[in-house]
Amino acid sequence: MCGIVGYVGSREAQPLLLDSLKRLEYRGYDSSGLAVVGASLQLFKSEGEIAVLEGKMPRMQGSIGIAHTRWATQGKPTTVNAHPLTDCAGKIAIVHNGIISNFMELRESMTRDGHTFTSDTDSEVFAHLVESEYKGDLVQAVMKAVSRIEGTYAFAVVAEGRDEIVATRRESPLVVGLGDGENFIASDVTALLKYTNRMVYLEDAEVVKVTKASVTVFDASGNVVPKTAQKIMWNLDDAEKGGYPHFMLKEIFEQPTAIHDSLLGRIESLDTEPFFQGTPYSSVKIVACGTSYHAGLVGKYIIEELSKIPTTLQISSEYRYSPVSRENPLIVLITQSGETSDTLAAAREARKRGNKTIAIANVMGSAITREVDHVIYTRAGPEIGVAATKTFVTQLIALYILAMDLGTQNRTLSALAKRSVIGQLRNLPRAVQDVLNKSSEIEELAKKYASARDMFFIGRNINYPIAMEGALKTKEISYIHGEGFPAGELKHGPLALLSKDSPVVAIAAKDHTYEKMLANISEVSARGSPVIAIGYEGDTDLQKFADDVIYIREIPPLFSPVPIIVALQLWSYYLAKERGCAIDKPRNIAKTVTVE
């Protein structure tokens, strides 16, 4: 996720672009830059936050320009990789939000054709594609260039000597703002509301030519598409959250896209670009904290199922002080921020012990990425809400990919089984969307139970960690005391806590533990606790035992944690909303824990 803005009009573009860009900083903040068209094409960029760019940039004269704030997904967060990026001659500048999955092939073939690349980004290929297609008509050049791109994108392009911005999108957002004698483009309306509230939304593959006097939208075949402007009534705060009342809810709803982006171009290349070429591992140890630890707990099931490699876990703050074993496991460190001090210390300790290390991280260039041998980035984009949601789900995606890779290397995953896993992964965005479509139903149910003081979450097998994660989300944002248990443990203590005032959320996916789970639910019910079950559509048995049921579409057990946690994220969100809690910034906790 990155932020793009563009301006064409009669004012000086530079201050306006900078001002608008700051409103998009929540979309990414590891580098930023501007290109302004005046007498020539001027460009300035810097790593770091927009304030760093602002502090050192020279005056740029001109009333046409584009700007970008970056959340790195390909290429380190350095000045060289910051956008805008240019063609060989420095006459065409582009900004990009998205992922170009076929950039390697394009880069190789364009290098053979004589193009010189200056960055490590996927985006730069687009500047060179436009350069090679440009024959005096920028719209035509952009259309031809995007036809060669695979992946997701919002692009904006300016060129020296041209009084226009040409922009296009596919699966990444882009709006056009209409002014009087001036027009704008941006990744979202937040950036533009200070200047206009009349917006034109672009559909996938549409291309727009924006001048100060006109906005013309074309379809992929070059036909003009008539568009009606929409009036936006949001205030700035609403707009930054995309109209959602909280970042957490926005981030929960971004999960289908986050999953899609995290898979893009990766599962196809596992055979040709494995992470661990020729390195057979006999064991894996996952080290992490909080929600990332819960992702690791699910990861144990995934790795053992797909690669048959025994996997253990340890909380980061414990790992450092644990005795050195005789085994030499692959150490997998999971951390959204890449800055959690205990996880960083664990990474250093693992290397000291001579272990190979791999990090699953969301923030490119974060500290952990310099401490490990290999990184798998989750492509969730920045997560602002303190409660981890989309980063948890994309950590699971990274673990499926890692497990497939280990299984392939260890020859424990057949080609047929791998194809089936890939098919299931591709279905996940839809499975998650199905759950999101039930948000009003989940909200109504949460209202009914929001006055509880204690709430217990039970699950079995791969959904036992999901019960723990549901409990963590609930306690973290709603301040209801939540505990997650393996359902089989109830009789060994927790049953003593149950009463009519302690609702139990029971995960009852149809897997080999289902019958046992039904028995647990009836056991809980017999103790007088209300039961809210999460089960599969068409499972009429559940209604006989549970007070309420959240139904989701059936999915094979190995993949069930993904839609089920989304239901529990919504559940905890609506509990907290009903209780009037500070959802995005819960008391006493920080997004990133940089002290031990």
Residues recognised as catalytic: 2, 591
Residue 291 binds to ligand AGP (criterion: CB under 6 A): yes
| Residue 423 CB, nearest approach to ligand AGP (Å) | 29
Nearer to ligand AGP, 215 or 388 (CB): 388
What are the b/e assignments for 70-79, b being 16+ CB within 10 Å?
bbbbbbbbbb
Convert residues 466-485 into a mask of x (bound to ligand AGP by CB under 6 A) and - (unbound).
----------x---------
SS3 505: strand
Q: Which stretch binds ligand AGP (CB under 6 A): 27-35, 130-138, 332-340, 557-565?
A: 332-340
Residue 565 binds to ligand AGP (criterion: CB under 6 A): no
- Using CA atoms, how far residue 53 sits from 1, 79, 337, 538, in Å, is 19, 10, 23, 56
| Residue 584 CB, nearest approach to ligand AGP (Å) | 11
Nearer to ligand AGP, 130 or 388 (CB): 388
Q: Is the dihedral of CA 391, 394, 398, 400 positive or negative?
A: positive
Residue 343 binds to ligand AGP (criterion: CB under 6 A): yes
| Residue 379 CB, nearest approach to ligand AGP (Å) | 15
- Using CA atoms, how far residue 529 sits from 14, 470, 516, 525, 546, in Å, is 62, 18, 18, 5, 10
Residue 388 binds to ligand AGP (criterion: CB under 6 A): yes
Residue 289 binds to ligand AGP (criterion: CB under 6 A): yes
Nearer to ligand AGP, 142 or 386 (CB): 386
Q: Tell me which of 386, 397, 468, 546 binds ligand AGP, using CB under 6 A.
A: 386
Q: What's 592's DSSP letter?
A: S
Q: Which stretch binds ligand AGP (CB under 6 A): 160-168, 234-242, 330-338, 530-538?
A: 330-338
Nearer to ligand AGP, 32 or 394 (CB): 394
* AA letter at 592: T
Residue 296 binds to ligand AGP (criterion: CB under 6 A): no
Interacting positions 179-198 with ligand AGP (CB under 6 A): none
What single string gives the DSSP state of each residue in 396-429? HHHHHHHHHHHHHHTT-S-HHHHHHHHHHHHHHH
- Describe the strand order of the beta sheet including 230-231 as a list of residue ranges: 41-47, 31-37, 64-70, 3-8, 183-186, 175-178, 198-201, 230-231
Burial class (CB in 10 A: 0-12, 13-18, 19+), 569: buried
Nearer to ligand AGP, 387 or 568 (CB): 387
Cβ–Cβ under 8 Å, residues 146 and 153 = yes
The C-alpha angle with vertex 457 and arms to 454 and 460, in degrees rounded to 5, equals 160
Nearer to ligand AGP, 83 or 294 (CB): 294
CA 508 to chain CA mean position, Å: 27
Size of the site for ligand AGP (CB under 6 A): 15
Give the C-alpha separation, 317 to 528, whole Å. Answer: 38
Judging by DSSP bridges, how do beta strands 374-377 and 454-459 pair with one another? Answer: unpaired
Nearer to ligand AGP, 74 or 340 (CB): 340
Nearer to ligand AGP, 213 or 590 (CB): 590
Residue 336 binds to ligand AGP (criterion: CB under 6 A): yes
Residue 446 binds to ligand AGP (criterion: CB under 6 A): no
**All residues at 6 or more sequence positions from 105 whose CB lies less than 8 Å from its CB, including other chains:** none
| Residue 345 CB, nearest approach to ligand AGP (Å) | 12
User: What is the 3-class SS of 439-451, one letter each residue?
Assistant: HHHHHHHHHHHCC
Q: Helix 561-578 vs helix 464-478: angle between axes, to the nearest 10 degrees?
A: 20
Q: Tell me which of 31, 101, 187, 340 binds ligand AGP, using CB under 6 A.
A: 340
Nearer to ligand AGP, 308 or 585 (CB): 585
Q: Tell me which of 63, 123, 311, 335 binds ligand AGP, using CB under 6 A.
A: 335
Give the C-alpha separation, 309 to 403, whole Å. Answer: 9
Residue 333 binds to ligand AGP (criterion: CB under 6 A): no
**All residues at 6 or more sequence positions from 488 whose CB lies less than 8 Å from its CB, including other chains:** 460, 516, 520
Interacting positions 487-526 with ligand AGP (CB under 6 A): none
| Residue 592 CB, nearest approach to ligand AGP (Å) | 6
**All residues at 6 or more sequence positions from 104 whose CB lies less than 8 Å from its CB, including other chains:** none
Q: Which stretch binds ligand AGP (CB under 6 A): 95-103, 207-215, 335-343, 565-573?
A: 335-343
Chain residue at closest Cβ approach to ligand AGP = 290
Interacting positions 575-594 with ligand AGP (CB under 6 A): 592-593
Q: Which residues bind ligand AGP (CB under 6 A)?
A: 289-292, 335-337, 340, 343, 386-388, 476, 592-593
